[in-house]
Amino acid sequence: MGLIIILLMFPQIVETIYSPVLPHLVDYFGVSMASASQTLSIYFIAFAVGVVFWGRVSDLIGRRKAMLCGLFTYGVGCLLAITATQFDMVMIARVVSAFGAAVGSVIGQTILRDSYEGKELGKVFSLAIVAVSISPVVGLMSGGLIAEYFGHLVVFSLLLVMAFILLIVSAFSLPETKPADTKTVSFIGIFTVMLKDRDIWKSAILVACFNVMMFSYYSLAPFMFSQFGLSSIEFGYSGVILAAASVLGSSMNKRLLVKEWGSQRLIQIAVLISFVGAVQVYFYQDSLWFLLGMAAVVVGFGMASPNIFSTALVNYKQQAGTAGAVLGLFYYCLIGGGLGLAGEIGNLGVVLIGMSLLASTMLMSRD
């Protein structure tokens, strides 16, 4: 269980380590803030492709082998980033890295779905979300410190080392959980079925809304901190606040699940909390007080995510890997598009309000 949690944390850690590097890339390669921010959008679109690929592969060759191949691919992307001499090469490296990193998310979730079901799965996802909530602290603080004192090349080198360590540990310790009765269905077949499934699309849009709210902070806030005259290190410290907020949201969710609160009701509360936080960010984003609103948004993220994920694929249990991959394709493409739009808008408060209103619309359409 511990290794699975670490593998689930891996994509968020490696992404948030990268966020404090964005202003440094602007200076080093002489590109615009918008261009640097777009690397996040490109990252998630490539991540979506990786989710589909590794999810499908895991149903064919097993969870363990798919995980090892994905970690190796991520390491190749890190090597490309380290040797990049032009910004376009950094973009290519990000595509390769994202494709490989996707394995941690889709295979980690698939292993949990292989091992648990029902309310027990919801509780396990709550625990996983709490653990993943620590990822921004690790990523933002370590990324901020390293970028400030050593530059972006050392950050990329650290990511390569992390991938190598996880590859070795997984090779010796990761169990194979693929069920013996797993049905190897046509990818096109399951894709077509899910494409027409309204509940799948509503789940995908909800996941995308909460993640765009989270990751728009990582893409836009580094430049907000620069405008405040603060460094990458101080931006990294904000991860502590956001991680605490996410843990609070996940803990609230776990307590309310024990009290038999339904997933739908908890998601509704999470959307309301996030909307209130988004409005606060909009009105206070000229000062650090906007972090209080952002913390409320993250509380909502911590409450909503385990409930969305634990109920999204209840009708696809026997094709968990492929179905998880298709779901991931849907929401990661939406996240990539949303972050691209967020980069063009350039206003964190507007992005957060828009995403929380869209999530609210999706919930109303569920009734």
Q: What is the pLDDT of residues 9-36, one digit of tens each?
A: 888 888 888 778 878 888 888 887 777 7
Least confident of 156-160, 256-260, 338-342: 256-260
Sorted by where each starts, the structural domains of the chain and their CATH numbers stand as 2-366 (1.20.1250.20)
Tokens of 192: 């077509």
The mean pLDDT of 80-86, rounded to a whole number, is 91
Neighbours of 272 (CB within 10 A): 16
Average pLDDT, the chain: 86
3-state SS class at 312: helix
Neighbours of 158 (CB within 10 A): 17
Global pTM reads 0.76
pLDDT value at residue 367: 47
Tokens of 69: 């191949």
Q: Are 50 and 99 in contact (CB under 8 A)?
A: yes
> pLDDT per residue over 183-193, tens digit each?
666 778 888 99
Higher pLDDT pick, 277 / 256: 277
Question: Which ranges constitute the DSSP H helices of 228-319?
Answer: 232-258, 263-284, 290-312
Q: Map tokens 């995908």 to a residue.
A: 204
Instruction: Tell me the backbone φ, ψ of residue 286, rounded to 5 degrees.
Output: -90, 5
The mean pLDDT of 280-292, rounded to a whole number, is 94
pLDDT band of residue 267 (cuts 50, 70, 90) is very high
Distance CA 150, CA 305 (A): 35
Q: How many residues does the chain have?
A: 367
Q: Are 278 and 290 in contact (CB under 8 A)?
A: no
Question: Which ranges constitute the DSSP H helices of 174-231?
Answer: 187-195, 198-227
Quick one: how far is CA 164 from the chain centroid? 21
Distance CA 114, CA 132 (A): 20
pLDDT band of residue 5 (cuts 50, 70, 90) is confident
